[in-house]
Amino acid sequence: MTATKQIHLAAHFPGVNNTTVWSDPESGSQTDFASFVHFAQTAERGLFDFLFLAEGLRLREHRGRIHDLDVVGRPDTLTVLNAIAAVTTHLGLGGTLNTTFNEPYELAKQLASLDHLSGGRAAWNLVTSSDAFTGENFRRGGFLAPEQRYDRAQEILDATRELWLSWAEDAVVADRERGVFVRDGAVPVVEHRGEQFSFSGRFSLPPTPQGHPVLIQSGDSDAGREFGARTADAIFSRHGTLEAGQAFYRDLKGRLPRYGRAERDVTILPATTFALGDTAEDAEEVADRVRRAQVSPQTAIAFLEQVWGRDLSAYDPDGPLPDVDPDPDGTSITRGRVRHEKDPAAVARQWRELAEAKGGLSIRELIIETTARQSFVGTPRQVAEQMDTYVQENACDGFILIPHLVPGGLDEFVEKVVPELQDRGSFRTEYTGPTLRHHLGLARPRA
Amino acid sequence: MGRSTYLAVEVSGAGRHPAAWLRPDAQPDALLTAPYHVGLARLAARAGADFLAVPDSLAPPSADPRLVPLRLDAVAIAARVAPVVPGVGLVPTVTVTHTEPFHVSKAIATLDLVSSGRAGWEPVVSRTAAEAELFGRKPAAPPAELWREAVEVVDVVVALWDSWEDDAVIRDVATGRYVDRDKLHYIDFSGEFFSVKGPSITPRSPQAHPLVVVRGDEPEALAVAAARADVVRVAAADLATAHTARERVRAAVAAAGRDPDAVAVLLDVEVLLGADAGSARRELDALDAHRELAPSSLRVVDTAATLVDVITDAVAGGAADGVTAVPLALPSGVRAIAADVAPRLADRGLRTPVAPGATLRDRFGLARPANRFEGARA
Ligand SMILES: Cc1cc2nc3c(=O)[nH]c(=O)nc-3n(C[C@H](O)[C@H](O)[C@H](O)COP(=O)(O)O)c2cc1C
């Protein structure tokens, strides 16, 4: 018999898209530090591997105005993670930081500082968004052609690693007797000459408690997957069903040998949502209620406008789909959000068929039907069983859970599902080491 | 009771003296750990300091094996201590020459958030070719250009803080709207060096405008301090020079159309305190024997009582509104300030007690600012 695969869990702070339900009376502040403390401490009580923060560097716009239907606003990723380090002891601290609108020396110093000050708990989710829209907030603007995104990401990563690992592991001796703080020659000049960056100088920090922070990747294109296979310690994927998960898992892990890496070197974690109830029926009811709250009448119209590429504000969300066709030129109606629909006309056709087949769904019912299904719905035992099945059957190595509520969205999961996972023997019953690398079973990186 | 004498404490590494790490009471193995920095901040809070200044720089570390080449990000240190050390302002240094104003703005706003309104920042420029080389984007520039750019950075950072009105989040279920987008504002900044669209991604913070602290020593920096700073730091070898420096700052503030009484001038004082003047002197000699450090400002190597006399004289004589104590050795220096200096300042009635939960602006008598965009419609 093979040993039970151990599940890795991460907690995504619910953020700026419609999965976060702000209209619920239980919904608290999205930005008060107390919300982050509650959420992070709950994840740590649940022995999660890490907390995860997403990032978007420009407020999203819809039809030329700031999108106002979802949560808007978040704190600075690195600063809030440093603060959370003060109120947790073992939880990993994962932050999304853009590879296009940051420079390697500064990022290397900031991330190394987080890792030192948290005792080895930092992780960096590298994202490559490079649009000119976001670039308007930065000195350097949106200067990068889309096909160069991963070239730059690879190079910024290479450059930060050169800096992180530039000092010898045993550089700091702090020997009072001899008056020697660092070994002679232990702080070398790093010289990086590349296509995207050209810099030189000495780094101001030794390797961190983890060697360097854990690296997470979440792009999904071929280039994105290749980048992940080559460099990432963990992958944040959006392939959340059993079959799609298994296909992605095979694909990604199949790319590893090319880089001399083993399956266990990369942890695959799909974005995951859940609804819990005391009975299966209760859970379905909760799931329905949450999905309705996630898709308000106004949100339903906005979703439709994203596909149709035109103003549909005159349509009744409780009425039928519009009879006009999508505007083939109107695809940039929403900005600051990654688009996954490729062919609007085909999507519209499909949706019309679906609405009809289901007995004439309204716009809002259709959007609920197509967009917001939770990954796992059931009693705590059922959800634990399903999650375990996914991991044991190699659809993933664990999950990045995205609850729908701040700050209490993780409470019930930690109270009820985590013990079930532990009973199944597939989740830790205590932290066995201090660093995130340790939680993930990763080796210390070498220069 | 008159206005309080301001007290700030600057802490960095093992102290300002390059040989400080060699002292028996130094903690050279702990300089990168959170407990070390939390400990320093606790002592500063116990001293009742108005703020803890956390220096930073992009200057590459020395390759000399006898020197401490470590430098953590100052905002990171401030954020790490904020939730667990109440009762003291937190003012990290932020370099602005090679960094992104948009990132800086949300970082300091977030420091304000996690400290419940105790954040400030000290913008500094990166002047050397070595610093420019770490980025490889542009060459080193002369001070006038660096500080012209720094003004733009300060302006963008502060404008972004106003880009959200306080009551922008409305959570209006009836209309399905989470924010009132009429209360979010593009700043549309376009200057000599860069342009930034806005709004910030981070809501307006508890203080709205965390304190801006600027050094007013260089003429080019003085103009920035006069126009933009809430607190100005100066270095001066003695009280007479400090007096001149403070008058210069006040004149520049007035010339910039602002009230000089609203801008506190803090004199840097390097400190190494002992039970008596002789033992303090011997401690400094021991450090200087390894490597001499010339004073960068007034230096008090003496007893706590003498330091308190100096502070009293400085304030009474109009040489400063308060001091930034810069211990030559840590943690001993800040421990001495908490144990021996703070009580004596209080005994002399120089320190006004601060209400629990006071913001850093409260400590400096600054009201929470109105929002420049309020009423403006996008
Ligand atoms: C699950 C998932 C989460 C992501 N989170 C973020 C994010 O927080 N911020 C961001 O700017 N981009 C995010 N992205 C976008 C990716 O970084 C990337 O830009 C996008 O997927 C396009 O790259 P690709 O063409 O390789 O898929 C995310 C993508 C995925 C799949």
Q: Look up the CATH number of the domain holding residue B23.
A: 3.20.20.30
Q: Could you tell me which residues come within 8 angstroms of residue A131 by beta carbon, excluding any fewer than 6 positions away?
A: A142, A335, A336
In chain B, the residue whose alpha carbon lies closest to the alpha carbon of A295 is B176
Atom of ligand 1 nearest to the CA of A129: 19
Report whether the peptide linkage leading into residue B199 is cis, meaning its omega lies within 30 degrees of zero.
Answer: yes
Helix or strand run (H / E) with residue B289: helix B277-290
Report the residue of chain B nearest A171, measured CA to CA: B65
CATH topology of domain A8-277+379-440: TIM Barrel (3.20.20)
| Structural domain contains residue B370 | no
Mean pLDDT of B308-317: 97
pLDDT band at A158 (very low <50, low <70, confident <90, very high): very high
Name which of B151, B150, B161, B152 is nearest B199 in CA terms. B161
How many whole angstroms separate alpha carbon B373 and alpha carbon B378?
9
φ/ψ bin of A5: left (φ > 0), alpha (ψ from -120 to 50), beta (otherwise): beta
- In the chain, the amino acid numbered A72 is V
Q: How far apart are CA A200 and CA A195, in angstroms?
A: 14
Position A327 scores a pLDDT of 86
Give the pLDDT confidence of B275-304 residue by residue, as tens digits.
Answer: 999 999 999 999 999 999 999 999 999 999
Q: What's the rounded Cα separation, in Å, for the pair A309 and A68?
A: 18
Beta-carbon separation of A33 and B83 below 8 A: yes
Helix ranges restricted to H, A334-443? 344-357, 363-371, 380-392, 411-412, 418-423, 436-440
Question: Please, are residues B94 and B74 in contact by the beta-carbon 8 Å criterion?
Answer: yes
Instruction: Tell me the DSSP string of B42-58.
Output: HHHHHTT-SEEEE----
A237 Cα to the center of ligand 1, angstroms: 9
Tokens of B178: 């989470």
Inter-axis angle of helices B219-228 and B143-161, to 10 degrees? Answer: 20
Q: What is the number of other CB atoms lying within 10 angstroms of the CB of residue B377?
A: 7
**pLDDT of amino acid A375:** 94
A181, A292, A294, A301: which to substitute to probe chain B, counting the most B Cβ within 10 Å?
A181
Which contiguous run of DSSP H or E holds residue A134?
helix A132-135
Most B CBs within 10 Å: which of A33, A117, A202, as the mutation test of the B interface?
A: A117
A224 CA closest ligand 1 atom index: 26
Task: Collapse the DSSP code of B168 into the 3-class scheme (helix H, G, I; strand E, B; otherwise coil) and give the result.
Answer: coil
Residue B357 near residue B6 (C-beta atoms within 8 A): no
Our CA angle for B276, B282, B284, nearest 5°, is 105
Q: Are A380 and A307 in contact (CB under 8 A)?
A: no
CA dihedral B70, B74, B76, B79 (to 10 degrees): 140
- Chain B residue nearest residue A61, CA to CA: B181
Residues A109, B129: Cα–Cα separation, whole Å? 19
- Residue A204: which of B34, B190, B60, B196 has the closest Cα? B60
Average pLDDT (A67-77) is 97
> Where do the domains of chain A lie?
8-277+379-440, 281-371
B77 located within any domain: yes
β-pair type (A189-193, B89-95): unpaired
- Cβ atoms of residues B160 and B153 within 8 Å: no
The answer to whether residue B190 sits within a structural domain is: yes
Ligand 1: which residue has its CA nearest to atom 17? A127
pLDDT in tens, A4-25: 899 999 999 999 889 999 999 9
Mean pLDDT value across residues A259-279: 97
Question: Per-residue pLDDT for B128 more than 70?
Answer: yes
Return the C-alpha torsion angle A385, A390, A396, A398, nearest 10.
Answer: -10
Tell which wins on pLDDT, B314 or A338.
B314
Which of A255-269, A343-357, B138-152 is predicted with the least confidence, judged by mean pLDDT?
A343-357
- In a 3-state reduction of DSSP, which class is residue A46? coil
**B89 beta partners:** B51
**DSSP class of A255:** H
Helix segments in A177-258, DSSP class H: 222-231, 242-255
Provide φ and ψ at A399, rounded to 5°.
-145, 145
Count of CB contacts below 8 A, A vs B?
A: 220
Q: Residue A155: CB partners within 8 Å, gap ≥ 6?
A: A194, A195, A196, A197
Q: A316 by DSSP, 3-state: which?
A: coil
Share of chain B above pLDDT 70, in %: 99
User: Where does ligand 1 bind, in terms of residues with CB under 6 Å?
Assistant: A 54-56, 96, 98, 127-129, 218-221, 223-224, 236, 238, 271, 338
In the structure, what pLDDT confidence band is assigned to residue A339 with cuts at 50, 70 and 90? low
Q: Give the distance (Å) from ligand 1 centre to CA of residue A126.
A: 9
In chain B, what residues touch A183 (CB-CB under 8 Å)? Answer: 65
What residues are paired with A377 via a beta bridge? A275
- Count: domains in chain B: 1
Kindly report whether the peptide bond that precedes residue A407 is cis, defined as omega within 30 degrees of 0: yes
Name the minimum distance, in Å, from the CA of A212 to any CA of chain B: 14
Distance CA B131, CA A190 (A): 13
B196 pLDDT band (50/70/90 cuts)?
very high
- Which has the closest alpha carbon to A49: A127, A122, A119? A122
Please check whether residue B120 is in contact with residue B213, taking contact to mean a CB–CB distance below 8 angstroms.
yes
Nearest-CA distance A55 → chain B (Å): 9
Give yes or no for a contact between B69 and B123, defined as CB atoms under 8 angstroms apart. Answer: no
Beta bridge pairs of residue A180: A175
Residue A370 tokens, joined: 């197509």
Cβ separation B77–A117 shorter than 8 A: yes
Q: Provide the percentage of residues in chain A whose pLDDT is more than 70.
A: 97
- Whether B376 maps to a domain, the answer reads no
Examine the pLDDT at B93 and tell me if it is beyond 50.
yes
Please report which confidence band the pLDDT of residue B1 belongs to, taking 50, 70 and 90 as the band edges. Answer: very low
Buried b (16+ CB within 10 A) or exposed e, A372-382: bebbbbbbbeb
- Domain membership of residue B128 as a residue range: 6-363
- For the ranges A69-73, A325-329, B65-69, B360-364, which has the lowest average pLDDT? A325-329
Q: How far is the CA of A240 from the centre of ligand 1 (A)?
A: 15
Q: How does the average pLDDT of chain B come out, rounded?
A: 96
Residue B321 has pLDDT above 50, yes or no: yes
Residue nearest to atom 28 of ligand 1 (CA): A218
Asked, as a colleague might, if the bond just before B331 is cis with ω within 30 of 0, I would say yes
Strand-pairing partners, residue B273, are B302
Does residue B375 lie within any of the structural domains?
no
